Structures are given as C-alpha cells and as structure tokens.
A and B are shown apart, each in its own frame.
Chain A
Amino acid sequence: SQQGEEDPQALSIQEGENATMNCSYKTSINNLQWYRQNSGRGLVHLILIRSNEREKHSGRLRVTLDTSKKSSSLLITASRAADTASYFCATGASGANSKLTFGKGITLSVRP
C-alpha cells in the first residue's frame, strides 16, 4: 500500500516553538500532500509537493520530500494556538486509479 504513515501520533508544544511532523510511505509516488483538520471540520489542503521537488514553502509551512527514503516532513515555524489541529499526509501516484491515500493523522496541540 502507498498509504502514508505519520509520526509522531501526537505532539504538544508551546506557542512560538516549531512543530515537525513526519510521514513515511512504501511505494513510488507522483506527489505527497499535507492536510489540516480542525476539530469538527473538514480537511483543508495545505501543500502539495511533487516527486521531482525536494522542498516547498507556504507561509510558515515548510515541506520536504526525500524520495530515496520515502519520507516527508512538515515544519510549522513559530507555532500559534490556532495551529492546534490534526495533520494528515496523503500520497498520490500516477495513473487512472491513483486516488489519494491518507494516513491516520497527527494531533498537534499548541499551548498558549
């Protein structure tokens, strides 16, 4: 399965600190995506990184991808209480039946 597996399962940090979340997967991918889910809400797409990219930035988010290790990391810098949410990685392959496969998610708590 190409399902991403996030690590750690839960993370608690102080406001202002950086949060690093990791995702590993098993098979070759076309892209890897990160999503955020606030309590009681739907998932929100944060960032997509393609297999030929190594790093991508979006505001306070930085995503890296290492295809040789089949892993990705999501870094949130200068965290805020509003970043408290669950974060999911999802992997996408190429091809007609290559729907995204989501991991089980990481619960991030940012203490004010």
Chain B
Amino acid sequence: DAGVIQSPRHEVTEMGQEVTLRCKPISGHDYLFWYRQTMMRGLELLIYFNNNVPIDDSGMPEDRFSAKMPNASFSTLKIQPSEPRDSAVYFCASSPGAFPGSYGYTFGSGTRLTVV
C-alpha cells in the first residue's frame, strides 16, 4: 500500500479564494482524520469520519471549513473563503479498529497551505 496520499503538497492562494485539500486513506481503514498543525497551536483535530460518516466535527474552526467523504477511498477538506490565519500544514490520517483510538494512525505527508 502506498500509504495515505494527500494532494497537493503545497498550496499558495490569495485571501478569499476557495481551497480544496484531498486525501486518499489506506484501503480497509475505517477511520479518517483531518488535522491542522501550526507552531502556535500544535496538532489540532478538525474532524473525523467512521465508514465515510462524519462523527465529530467539533474541531472545525468555523463555517468556512467543510469536509466530505463521498466514498471509502477519498475525502476532501474545503476552505471557502480562505484567510491568512488558515495558513498551516493540514494532515490527513487513517486507522483501522473498532474505535478511533484503538490502533496507530497512518499520516499523509501533509499539505502546506499559505494564504496571502
């Protein structure tokens, strides 16, 4: 397996533009997580899915953020409109297991987002 695949690796966009980040989890993993990492706030969980269903989106900062998982092999995180404070590295991770903390997570390489 190629691991968790994220695209793009880098994204530079202007304030107000829509940004879409993409993730392909490991086949057979029931859980998919979206994280954001910044120097100031560390690693923050934004939302996670179980079998394609959003379970907990309490970490989504505001309505500008949305996430979907239309099937078991694809998820998107969308920011519309983007703002400079959204600049961060966004990670997708997946894991197997009966509950979300039962096994280790496999992380993608991340998308470094810069909003100017």
Query: Which residues of A line the B interface, CB within 8 A?
Result: 30-31, 33, 35, 41-45, 48, 88, 91-100, 102-105
Would A104 and B101 be within 8 Å (CB), given that A41-B109, A99-B56 are in contact?
Answer: no
For B107, the closest partner residue in chain A by CB is A42
CA distance A93 to B10 in the complex (A): 34
Query: Which residues of B line the A interface, CB within 8 A?
Result: 4, 33, 42-43, 45, 48, 55-56, 91, 93, 99-110
Least Cβ distance of B98 to chain A in Å?
A: 9
For A100, the closest partner residue in chain B by CB is B101
Would A98 and B99 be within 8 Å (CB), given that A41-B109, A42-B110, A104-B42 are in contact?
Answer: yes
Which residues of B sit under 8 angstroms from A44, Cβ to Cβ? 107
- Do A105 and B33 have beta carbons less than 8 Å apart? no
For A92, give its contact among B55, B91, B101 (CB under 8 Å): B101
Which residues of A sit under 8 angstroms from B100, Cβ to Cβ? 92, 97-100
Least Cβ distance of B90 to chain A in Å?
A: 11
Give the top 8 A-B pairs by smallest Cβ distance, nearest first.
Answer: A92-B101, A42-B107, A45-B104, A99-B100, A98-B101, A43-B107, A104-B42, A102-B43
Which residues of A sit under 8 angstroms from B110, Cβ to Cβ? 41-42
CA distance A92 to B98 in the complex (A): 12
Which residues of B sit under 8 angstroms from A30, Cβ to Cβ? 101-102
Least Cβ distance of B18 to chain A in Å?
A: 24
CA distance A99 to B105 in the complex (A): 10
Would A99 and B48 be within 8 Å (CB), given that A31-B102, A45-B106 are in contact?
Answer: yes
For A43, give its contact among B45, B91, B101, B103 (CB under 8 Å): B91
Would A48 and B99 be within 8 Å (CB), given that A42-B110, A99-B33 are in contact?
Answer: no
